[in-house]
A and B are shown apart, each in its own frame.
Chain A
């Protein structure tokens, strides 16, 4: 199954020292991920303070500054794994350096044919 792994951080809690540590650990993590078949490094996002949220309702467009959900932890990036079951996805989440400073949400992806499997 393919899973999108959503990396969420509490941005305010990440000090420069933590960022530095994360950068080293991510080097190793991304290398391991590149070796795994069907898995792919995603993209890293800039701070959620730079987010803009757009909604269309009743013909009106609302453009708001800020992320769509005002939560403590904000989406910071993602990666994709292709593994036999949720258990292997959980192992990848634990390997991801960000799991120590935030959370990794594991979401099964809908495959192109529309079937869930």
Chain B
């Protein structure tokens, strides 16, 4: 067998099973870093032996057995952690039985995600941890996406994994009373990865992260299909992805939602999003992601009716505000309200954000104000707001769009 073919088999297996095998090992030993080392050793061995001996019938079981052997060696080497050895022994017996029955490896990825997004893990490290443990991304790749030096990211990941082991963060599902809050942390971590991939579309390395996040979103929906918020989050990501091709014009310039060519929207993804949202709404109370997905749904009705359902959008933002009290929601609601009641009403609503410190350096706030002032006929205030928005923008396509808006005012 060709080396290239063995490599591809190992890579396929890595993609499909990395997180599954790692979660299985870590759930037993609570040692995520140790399990990663053992698993990467097992993959290295596979790349070495499979070309000569052929790909085994059950590559997952092979990798898992090899990884377990590494863990046992490591435990023996350290001659401590008797508990760990007992667990490895148990795991060995369980594995033997699994290989004989050809039963699949129990999927413990959900509990691993809960451990990665545990309240005792620093919020900024939850997304990187999930990307590394479930998807097997390297700390170099993660560091690039988070604009942090690779060495620093590597150290932080190691620290977080040590913390899971030594602080006693459990690898099991949270108690039912804790579940909504804990699940929210997991969903937030996945959605943060999606936004990293989405916001900076100009950077070639990052859109991949959006795909990884979608993969994680699908995974979490498959692992807990009864949770409406998980479906709401996946729907939200799919609505956004469906519009991917429409948000840049041929020249690469930014196109706002209201001006997008709806024929460029991906109907397949939209249908999937609508179905997920329908299921989510049918099965439970509305959480943040369900509401945001519903807002997207009201926007995409434009492809059928020619107009976003602004009344529904405003009403949904009211619900979302009651839930989050977020100034960003106030901002978005005002922008939607302008479509119903005109720019002056919207600007009056935005006055409540005048003293809000974070909003004063939030680019979309100034861009929205610029558009609203322009529509209200106040060119001076519009130019001032757009100028601030340009100053706050890091995305070149968006900067170009705002500059074009500004020049429309002055000419």
**Chain A positions near chain B (C-beta within 8 angstroms):** 1, 3, 84-87, 89-90, 106, 108, 115-117
Contacts and interface: CB of A to CB of B under 8 A. Distances in A.
Contacts, number: 34
Given A86-B120, A87-B175, A87-B178, A115 B170 contact: no
B84 interface: yes
Contact of A89 (B83, B166, B168): B168
27 contacts: A1-B168, A84-B168, A84-B170, A85-B168, A85-B170, A86-B120, A86-B167, A86-B168, A86-B169, A86-B170, A87-B169, A87-B170, A87-B174, A87-B175, A87-B178, A90-B119, A90-B120, A108-B167, A108-B168, A115-B80, A115-B81, A115-B82, A116-B165, A116-B166, A117-B81, A117-B83, A117-B84
Interface of B: 80-84, 118-120, 165-170, 172, 174-175, 178
A16 B296 CA distance: 54
Given A86-B120, A87-B174, A108 B80 contact: no
A85 B172 CA distance: 10
Nearest to A3: B168
Contacts of A117: 81, 83-84
A115 B85 CA distance: 13
Contacts of B120: 86, 90
B166 A108 contact: yes
Contacts of A116: 165-166
A117 B34 CA distance: 15
Nearest to B118: A86
A117 B120 CA distance: 18
Among A3, A90, A106, A117: residue with most chain B CB under 10 A:
A117
Contacts of A85: 168-170, 172
Contacts of B80: 115
Contacts of A86: 118, 120, 167-170
A21 to B, nearest CB: 25
A108 B167 CA distance: 6
B198 to A, nearest CB: 33
B225 to A, nearest CB: 24
B110 to A, nearest CB: 15
Contacts of B119: 90
B79 to A, nearest CB: 10
**Those 4 A-B pairs whose CB atoms lie nearest each other, nearest first:** A85-B170, A86-B168, A1-B168, A85-B168
Contacts of B169: 85-87
Contacts of A115: 80-82
Given A106-B167, A108-B167, 5 more contacts: A86-B170, A87-B170, A90-B119, A115-B80, A115-B82
A1 B83 CA distance: 12
* Among A3, A84, A86: residue with most chain B CB under 10 A: A86
Contacts of A89: 168
A9 to B, nearest CB: 22
B346 to A, nearest CB: 42
Contacts of A90: 119-120
Contacts of B82: 115
A12 to B, nearest CB: 29
Nearest to B182: A87
Nearest to B172: A85
Nearest to B177: A91
A85 B83 CA distance: 15
A84 to B, nearest CB: 7
B387 to A, nearest CB: 43
Contacts of B178: 87
A84 B171 CA distance: 11
Contacts of A84: 168, 170
A117 B81 CA distance: 7
Nearest to A84: B170
